[in-house]
A and B are shown apart, each in its own frame.
Chain A
Amino acid sequence: MSFVKGYLIPRLIQYFLVIFVGITAVFIIPRFAPADPILQTIGALQSRGAYLDPGSMDEMIQDLTELYGLEGSMLDQYGKFWLRLFKGDFGVSFLQFPTPVSKLIRAALPWTIALLVTTTIIGFGVGILLGGVAGYYNRKGWSRALDTTAMLIRPFPYYIFAFGLLILFGYVFQWFPIAGGTTIGRQPSWTWAYISDVLKHAFLPALSLILLGWAAWFQTMKLVVQNVNSSDYVQYAKMGGIKENKIVSRYVIRNGMLPQITALALVIGQIFGGALITEIVFSYPGLGTLLFNAIVNGDYNLIMGITVFSIVAITTAILIIDLLYPFLDPRIRYN
C-alpha cells in the first residue's frame, strides 16, 4: 500500500503534469510566434508554383484557420485542441493532402520503434557489460584502450557521427545502401530475401546509434564500478575466495547497473531525438524522415502531430521504466 501512496501516485501525477505542460507548450508556440502559420503555409504552397487568385486565397485562409483550430478565443481554441487530441485527431497533412497526420505517423512508427528499441537495448547492454568489466579491471591495457575509444566517440553529435559512417561505408567502401528502409519497390513478405534487405538497410543507422549510445553508458558505468570496487563487500568477497567472474557479474555489475536504469529513463528523450536525426541522415522511413519532409515542405500540422505524439510516447516510456524499477531493485521494493 505504501508503494502505491509513496511512489505510484506522485509518479502518476508527475506523468500527467509533464504531458499537460508539454502539450500546452505545443499549443502556445505557434500562437505566439511572430510568423503566421497560415500565411507561411500559403507562402510554401506559392513558392512551389501554385497560383491562387484572391477569392480562393480568402477561402484557403478560412479553411486553414478552421483546420489549425484558430477560430474563437484563445480559451476556446485550447479546449478544442485537447478535444481533438483525445480523439487522436491531429488534422490532415499538407505534404500529402488530405491524408490524416495520424495515418502518416502510424505508417512511420514501426520503423522508428524497431530501430530505437533494438539500438537502445544493445547500446545499453554492451555499454553496461563492457563498462562493468573494464571498471573492475581498470588497470589493464585493454580497459584503458576502451576508455580512450569512448572518450573519442562520446562528444560527437548524432548528425556528424551518422554522416561520417554514411560517407565511409556508403560512398567510399559501398558496403551498405545509403538510403531507405528497403530496396525501392520490394514487397514486404516473410522471406529471407526481404528480411535480409531490411537488415542491410538498418545496419548503418543502427550501428551509428549503438556506437554513440555505447560510449555514454560505458563511461558512467566504469566510473560507478570503480567506486564499487573499493567497497567492503567486494573486498570481502575477494578475500572469501569467490571467483572473480562471479564477483564481476553478481556483485559489481548488478549493483552498478541499478542507477543506470534511472539514468536511462532521464535520457530517453535525447536518445529519441538522436534517432530522429540519424533517420534523417540515412533517409530511413521512420518518424525522423517524416519530420524532415514536413520541415522542408513547411507542413506545420505534421510537425505538431509528431511532437504531440512523441511527448506522450516518451513520457509513457519513462513512466514504464520508473514503475519497473522497484521490481529490479530489492532495496526500493522492500522499503
Chain B
Amino acid sequence: MQLFKDLWQDYRFKWSFTILCGLMIFASLSFFSPYDPTLWHEVPRDLPPSAEYYLGTESRGIDIFWMSTFAVRNSVIVALIAGIVSRLITVPVALIAGYKGGSTDRVLMFISDSFLVIPLFLILVMLTLLVRDKMNLITLGILLALFGWAWDARVIRSEVLTLRERGFTYTAILSGTGTFRMAMNEYMPFITPLVFATLINVMSWAIGLEITLSILGLTNLDIPTLGTMIFWALSYQAVLLGYWWWIATPVVLSIFLFVSLYWLSVSISEYLDPRSRIQRVGA
C-alpha cells in the first residue's frame, strides 16, 4: 500500500493508472454488449455519433462503441498472453545466462542477439502470411511472445550479473544451495519488479505489432481488435468518405493505451532505480 502511495506522487503514474483503469472498465463493458461483434447489419450504416449510437456506426452495420469494447479487450488479451509467455522464456534465459556465465552465457546471449539483429518484422510477416487463417488470440499472442523476449533477457541478465557478485550469493553457495533453489528463492525477489516493468513494455510492443499486422491483413480479421478495426475502416475508405468517428475511435483508444502503458512502465522503473528517482526529485 505504501508502494502505491509513493508511486501516486508521480504525475505519470497517476495519469496512466487512471486511464488504464478506465480502459479496463471500458473493455469489461463488452460482457454486457447488446450486439454480437461478429454479426454485420445489426444497426443502420454510417451514422455519426448520437445519443443512440454513442460512437456512431460503421459501413458494415456494426455499432462502433460496443465493437471497440471488444477490440480493447481482445487487444489486451493478446498483449497479456504475449507478455506472460515471453516472460516464461525471458526469465529462465536471463537467470541461467547470468548465473552460469561462461560459454552457456555466450551461447544464450548469441541467440538473443540474433533475435535483436534480424529484421523480425519481416520474419513475422512471412510466418503470419502462412498461418493467418488458423490464427486466434492465443496463437497470435504466443507467436508474438516467441519474438518479444530477447531484449528483456539482456536487461534482466545484467541485473542477475550484479546479484551474483553480492555477498549473499557466496553465503548461499557455501551453505550448499542448489542452482534452481538459488534462482527461485534468492534471485527472483530481486528481479520481480524488473520482470514486471519489462512485461508492461512488451505488452505495449505486442499491441503495436498486432495493429501493424492487422492493418496489413495478416491476422484473423473476423476477431475484433484495435488493429482489425483500423483495417476495416481503411478498407472501406472511412478516411476519404469522412467517417471520422470510425477511424478515430480505434486510433484514439490505442494512443491512450500506448501512452498510459509506457508511462506506467517508466514511472515504475524510475521508482525502482533510486538514482533516477533522486534526479527527478532534484536532490
A: which residues have CB within 8 A of B? Answer: 14, 17-18, 21-22, 25-26, 29-30, 33-35, 37, 40, 138-139, 151-152, 154-160, 163-164, 167, 171, 223, 226-227, 266, 269, 272-273, 276-277, 280, 291-292, 295-296, 298, 300, 303-304, 306-307, 310-311, 314-315, 318
Please, how many angstroms separate the alpha-carbon atoms of A226 and B277 in the complex? 12
With contacts A26-B126, A35-B130 taken as known, whether A160 is within 8 angstroms of B117 at the C-beta atoms is no
With contacts A35-B131, A167-B239 taken as known, whether A139 is within 8 angstroms of B117 at the C-beta atoms is no
The 13 sampled A-B contact pairs (Cβ below 8 Å) are A18-B114, A30-B126, A34-B134, A154-B262, A155-B204, A155-B262, A227-B275, A273-B119, A277-B121, A296-B217, A307-B119, A307-B122, A314-B117
With contacts A155-B258, A155-B262 taken as known, whether A306 is within 8 angstroms of B122 at the C-beta atoms is yes
CB contacts (< 8 Å) of A273 on chain B: these are 119-122
Minimum distance in angstroms from A144 CB to a CB of chain B: 10
Contact with A along B180-200 (1 / 0, CB 8 A): 000000000000000000000
Q: Among the listed stretches B63-71, B92-100, B208-216, which one makes contact with chain A, having 4 or more residues with CB under 8 Å of it?
A: B208-216
Using C-beta atoms within 8 Å of the partner chain, give the interface range for chain B.
35 or more
Closest B residue by C-beta to A154:
B262
The yes or no answer to B243 lying at the interface (CB within 8 A) is: no
The yes or no answer to B229 lying at the interface (CB within 8 A) is: no
The yes or no answer to B79 lying at the interface (CB within 8 A) is: no
Listed residue (A34, A269, A310) with the most chain B CB atoms within 10 angstroms of its CB: A269
Name the one of B129, B215, B279 contacting A138, with C-beta atoms under 8 angstroms.
B279
The yes or no answer to B113 lying at the interface (CB within 8 A) is: yes
With contacts A17-B110, A138-B279, A227-B275 taken as known, whether A157 is within 8 angstroms of B121 at the C-beta atoms is no
Inter-subunit contact A310/B119 (CB<8 Å):
yes
Inter-subunit contact A35/B12 (CB<8 Å):
no
Additional 4 contacts, C-beta under 8 A, given A29-B123, A40-B130, A157-B258: A158-B212, A223-B276, A291-B122, A314-B119
Please, how many angstroms separate the alpha-carbon atoms of A14 and B130 in the complex? 30
Name the one of A138, A154, A295, A307 contacting B123, with C-beta atoms under 8 angstroms.
A307
Listed residue (B125, B126, B216) with the most chain A CB atoms within 10 angstroms of its CB: B126
Inter-subunit contact B255/A303 (CB<8 Å):
no
Where chain A touches its partner, the secondary structure class is: helix
CB contacts (< 8 Å) of B282 on chain A: these are 139
Please, how many angstroms separate the alpha-carbon atoms of A288 and B135 in the complex? 24
CB contacts (< 8 Å) of B258 on chain A: these are 155-157, 160
The yes or no answer to B218 lying at the interface (CB within 8 A) is: yes
B: which residues have CB within 8 A of A? Answer: 12, 110, 113-114, 116-123, 125-127, 129-131, 133-134, 204, 207-209, 211-212, 215-218, 239, 251, 254-255, 258-259, 261-263, 266, 275-276, 279, 282
Name the one of A29, A163, A277 contacting B127, with C-beta atoms under 8 angstroms.
A29
CB contacts (< 8 Å) of B130 on chain A: these are 29-30, 33-35, 37, 40
Inter-subunit contact B117/A303 (CB<8 Å):
no
Q: Give the 5 A-B CB pairs with smallest separation, nearest first.
A: A157-B208, A155-B262, A273-B121, A33-B130, A307-B122
Please, how many angstroms separate the alpha-carbon atoms of A160 and B262 in the complex? 15
Please, how many angstroms separate the alpha-carbon atoms of A30 and B126 in the complex? 8
Inter-subunit contact B259/A155 (CB<8 Å):
yes
Minimum distance in angstroms from A191 CB to a CB of chain B: 32
CB contacts (< 8 Å) of A311 on chain B: these are 118-119, 122
With contacts A157-B212, A295-B217, A303-B129 taken as known, whether A26 is within 8 angstroms of B251 at the C-beta atoms is no
Closest A residue by C-beta to B265:
A155
Closest A residue by C-beta to B227:
A159
Please, how many angstroms separate the alpha-carbon atoms of A304 and B217 in the complex? 18
Please, how many angstroms separate the alpha-carbon atoms of A193 and B134 in the complex? 50
With contacts A160-B254, A167-B239 taken as known, whether A315 is within 8 angstroms of B122 at the C-beta atoms is no
Inter-subunit contact A171/B239 (CB<8 Å):
yes
Closest B residue by C-beta to A317:
B117
Minimum distance in angstroms from B23 CB to a CB of chain A: 14
With contacts A151-B263, A269-B118 taken as known, whether A157 is within 8 angstroms of B126 at the C-beta atoms is no
CB contacts (< 8 Å) of B134 on chain A: these are 34
Inter-subunit contact A159/B129 (CB<8 Å):
no
Please, how many angstroms separate the alpha-carbon atoms of A163 and B251 in the complex? 9
With contacts A14-B110, A138-B279, A314-B118 taken as known, whether A298 is within 8 angstroms of B208 at the C-beta atoms is no
Inter-subunit contact B121/A276 (CB<8 Å):
yes
Closest A residue by C-beta to B226:
A160
CB contacts (< 8 Å) of A304 on chain B: these are 126
Listed residue (A35, A152, A155, A167) with the most chain B CB atoms within 10 angstroms of its CB: A155
Inter-subunit contact A159/B215 (CB<8 Å):
yes
Closest B residue by C-beta to A219:
B266
Inter-subunit contact A292/B211 (CB<8 Å):
no
With contacts A22-B114, A29-B130, A273-B120 taken as known, whether A151 is within 8 angstroms of B12 at the C-beta atoms is yes
Closest A residue by C-beta to B126:
A29
CB contacts (< 8 Å) of A295 on chain B: these are 125, 129, 216-218
Closest A residue by C-beta to B259:
A155
Inter-subunit contact B133/A35 (CB<8 Å):
yes
Minimum distance in angstroms from A18 CB to a CB of chain B: 5
Closest B residue by C-beta to A152:
B259
Please, how many angstroms separate the alpha-carbon atoms of A229 and B212 in the complex? 40
